[in-house]
């Protein structure tokens, strides 16, 4: 109190008091006081709301990250390409070219992947079966046979007119779809006839038969096409007198293997589990997958359509940070592909760039971001969940991805580095005609379309090294932008809020005081003038 008294005696007082009897109120002053109070409250509320609001600042700069390689994560379903024919290749502008990558790539067999429905782990379409190890995808063995009855046709030759009746007349029929020009079919021919001869000695020879269909004949090409035959030789199992329902045989091309398969079918009453599952499988899981296979076969039979086999491919690969292509190519090391019948309809469940830890941090950061910012800053994975259908023969799907590195910093200290991309998709005919922009998805996106057979084309068209036609495939062309996008959340500091609040109170009070003094002075001048 002594210090305050000394300041008063020295005249240091910014807030001197005026006696109340020396002041008086006016109508104008009262009105301006009310306006000033309302203005203060309104500005304070707006400033407080601004203090609570978090905004973001986006900065574009050159990408200075020194990483030379980048991870690509993918999860893609091929609706009508078996896993044995689905190869993952990578090429880039540096000249790197990796074929049939298997490290960090996993494949699951799909049944009826192109149809709506559930299933055992189907994930929204078809039935996901046992994961196929690289050993299960090894090329199948062909037996070298010196069969004395090679020139004799012990198996029945079927055409479009006799096919349905022959299947309906027998309990089990194993049918080989072939092309005479195919070297693998030529190797299988004596094995097939020897197996037919040995089958005649089995007790079930009357109800179980071997047959074959030449897919190069004008009338039979549509028969092969109806049964989704895209490689030669293709061996299909027909049972239950249903010519529209079949199961693909994926075993070795040896007499012993095919006889064992037929015996298993007859014994089990359905397709042999050995064709679906690996040996080291617990009984519970085997029973689940066998039930799923049976359900898929029943649905296909009830619908009067063939059971289509597809492949789910998941994994990640390391690529150079230069323009390149992730290429999913149908390729058969032990068969000849028919380009006109290869259907690469597919669904992209997930496609992302960057390390897995970065993606997980991005999910965490995105969950903490304000909803309004998430819509603007979320990773633009525009291919995730989209389906692309082949509605005509010889169709290759090509996706173009522009990848941009980004990092996000939140006000709570969370940080994530992600790679965003934008995409555009198109398709073109491998015979040279480029299609328009691809529209993804439809009312039934899992439906495997019956692609139209081009005029003059047929299911027995050759596809080998000397063929001029490109095999239909799926390409993901990626290109990394040299620019880097930095996104930072910004919040108003508390000291800035206090400063603004004081400025509002003092500023409004001063302005209202000036306005009141001006009005009072004008009123005085007008009164003197009137007097």
Same domain, 33 and 158: no
Same domain, 48 and 157: no
The three-state secondary structure class of 226 is: helix
pLDDT of residue 306: 61
Same domain, 34 and 151: no
Name which of 141-150, 234-243, 510-519 the model is least confident about: 141-150
Number of H helices, E strands in the chain: 10, 21
pLDDT of residue 281: 42
Decide if 189 is inside a domain.
yes
Decide if 405 is inside a domain.
no
How many other C-beta atoms are found inside a 10 Å radius of the C-beta of residue 441?
13
Residue indicated by tokens 């005479």:
180
Decide if 421 is inside a domain.
no
**Higher pLDDT among residues 295 and 505, named by residue:** 505
- Tally of domains in the chain: 2
Expressed as residue numbers, the domain containing 161 is: 138-277
Residues present in the chain in total: 531
pLDDT of residue 364: 53
pLDDT of residue 468: 45
CB–CB of 84/250 below 8 Å? Answer: yes
Please state whether beta strands 474-490 and 395-409 pair in parallel, antiparallel, or not at all (unpaired). parallel
Same domain, 35 and 151: no
Decide if 158 is inside a domain.
yes
Does residue 172 register a pLDDT over 80? yes
Section 237-264 average pLDDT: 84
Same domain, 266 and 142: yes
Q: Using one digit for the tens of pLDDT, what is the confidence trace for 373-432?
A: 444 455 455 788 899 988 888 889 999 999 988 877 777 667 677 788 889 999 888 776
Same domain, 32 and 143: no
> Percent of the chain, pLDDT > 90?
13
Predicted TM-score (pTM) of the model is: 0.70
Is residue 288 exposed (0-12), middle (13-18) or buried (19+ Cβ within 10 Å)?
middle
**Higher pLDDT among residues 95 and 20, named by residue:** 95
How far is it, in rounded angstroms, from Cα 444 to Cα 114? Answer: 9
Same domain, 153 and 46: no
Boundary residue ending a domain (277, 308, 339): 277
Close Cβ partners of 412 (under 8 Å, ≥ 6 residues apart)? 368
Name the pLDDT band for 210 (thresholds 50, 70, 90): very high
How far is it, in rounded angstroms, from Cα 523 to Cα 531? Answer: 13
CATH code at 174? 3.40.30.10
Boundary residue ending a domain (277, 298, 327): 277
Decide if 462 is inside a domain.
no
Q: What is the DSSP string of 355-411?
A: -HHHHHHHHHHHHHS-HHHHHHHS---TTTTEEE---BTTEEEEEEEEEEEEEEE-T
Decide if 415 is inside a domain.
no
Does residue 285 register a pLDDT over 60? no
Decide if 464 is inside a domain.
no
Report the range out of 36-50, 332-346, 352-366 with the highest average pLDDT.
36-50
CB–CB of 341/388 below 8 Å? Answer: no
Does residue 509 register a pLDDT over 80? yes
Whole-number Cα distances in Å, 167 to 157, 164, 194, 442: 12, 5, 21, 35
Does residue 444 register a pLDDT over 50? no
Mean pLDDT, the chain, rounded, equals 76
Decide if 282 is inside a domain.
no
Same domain, 33 and 148: no
Same domain, 176 and 269: yes
Boundary residue ending a domain (277, 300, 334): 277
CB–CB of 56/410 below 8 Å? Answer: no
């Amino acid at each position: 109190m002594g210090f305050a008294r000394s300041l008063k005696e020295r005249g240091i007082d910014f807030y001197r008091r005026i006696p109340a009897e020396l002041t008086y109120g006016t109508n104008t002053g009262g009105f301006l006081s009310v306006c000033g109070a309302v203005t203060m409250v309104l500005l304070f509320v707006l400033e407080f709301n601004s203090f609570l609001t978090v905004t973001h600042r986006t900065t574009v700069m050159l990408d200075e990250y020194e990483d030379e390689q980048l991870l690509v994560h993918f999860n893609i379903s091929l609706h009508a390409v078996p896993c044995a024919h689905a190869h993952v290749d990578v090429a880039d502008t540096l000249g790197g070219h990796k074929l049939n990558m298997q490290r960090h790539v996993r494949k699951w067999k799909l049944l009826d992947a192109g149809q709506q429905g559930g299933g055992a782990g189907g994930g929204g379409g078809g039935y996901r079966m046992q994961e196929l190890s690289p050993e299960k995808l090894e090329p199948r063995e062909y037996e070298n046979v010196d069969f004395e009855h090679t020139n004799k046709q012990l198996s029945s030759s079927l055409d479009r007119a006799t096919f349905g009746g022959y299947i309906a007349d027998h309990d089990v029929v194993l049918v080989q779809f072939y092309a005479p020009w195919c070297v693998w079919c030529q190797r299988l021919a004596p094995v097939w006839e020897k197996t037919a001869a040995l089958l005649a000695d089995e007790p079930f020879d009357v109800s179980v038969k071997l047959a074959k269909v030449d897919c190069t004949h004008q009338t039979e090409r549509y028969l092969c096409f109806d049964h989704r035959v895209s490689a030669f030789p293709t061996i299909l199992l027909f049972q239950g007198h249903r010519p529209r329902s079949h199961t693909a045989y994926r075993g070795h091309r040896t007499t012993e293997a095919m006889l064992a398969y037929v015996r298993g079918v007859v014994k089990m009453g359905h397709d042999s589990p050995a064709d679906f599952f690996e040996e080291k499988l617990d009984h519970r899981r085997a029973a689940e997958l066998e039930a799923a296979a049976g359900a898929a076969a029943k649905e296909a039979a009830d619908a009067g359509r063939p059971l289509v086999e597809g492949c789910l491919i998941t994994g990640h690969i390391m690529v150079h940070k230069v323009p390149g292509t992730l290429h999913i190519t149908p390729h058969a090391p032990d068969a000849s592909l028919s380009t006109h019948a290869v259907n690469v309809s597919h669904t992209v469940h997930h496609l992302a760039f960057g390390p897995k830890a970065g993606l997980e941090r991005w999910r965490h950061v995105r969950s903490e971001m304000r909803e309004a910012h998430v819509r603007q800053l979320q990773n633009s994975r525009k291919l995730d969940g989209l389906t692309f259908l082949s509605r005509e023969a010889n169709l290759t799907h090509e996706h173009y991805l522009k990848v941009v590195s980004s990092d996000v910093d939140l006000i709570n200290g969370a940080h994530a580095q992600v790679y965003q991309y934008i995409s555009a998709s198109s398709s073109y005919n491998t015979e040279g005609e480029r299609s328009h922009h691809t529209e993804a998805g439809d009312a039934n996106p899992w439906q495997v379309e019956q692609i139209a057979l081009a005029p003059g084309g047929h299911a027995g068209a050759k596809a080998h090294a000397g063929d001029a036609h490109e095999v239909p495939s799926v390409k993901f062309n990626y290109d990394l932008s040299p620019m880097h996008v930095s996104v930072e959340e910004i919040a108003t500091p508390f000291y800035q809020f206090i400063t603004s609040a004081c400025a509002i109170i003092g500023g409004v009070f001063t302005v209202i005081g000036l306005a009141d003094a001006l009005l009072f002075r004008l009123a005085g001048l007008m009164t003197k003038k009137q007097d």
